[in-house]
A = this chain, B = another copy of it.
């Protein structure tokens, strides 16, 4: 299973901003809406536990959203 974690809309994303500024300087144009988050991959016997794992350890729900992908 994969958990995709990203900064909530409106929360400062300095890594995303840095990438968005650096790409044109390297000759890559036409890039926008860059956001950098975390990817957590794991094997779980009971996937129903994943939301609780996210809320208790993997994600900071104050500033991050998450998405569970199989």
Q: Judge if A11 is at the interface, Cβ distance under 8 Å.
A: no
Query: Beta-carbon contacts of A1-45 to B below 8 Å, as 1s and 0s?
Result: 010111000000000000110110010111111111111111111
- A37 CB to nearest chain B CB (Å): 4
**Contact check: which of B19, B29, B40, B43 meets A58 at CB < 8 Å?**
B19
Assembly stoichiometry (copies)? 2
Give complex CA distance A23, B28 in Å.
Answer: 40
- Bound-state Cα–Cα, A2 to B30, Å: 15
Known: A53-B23, A58-B19. A41 touches B30 (CB 8 A): no
The chain A residues found within 8 Å of chain B, CB to CB, are 2, 4-6, 19-20, 22-23, 26, 28-46, 49, 52-53, 56-58
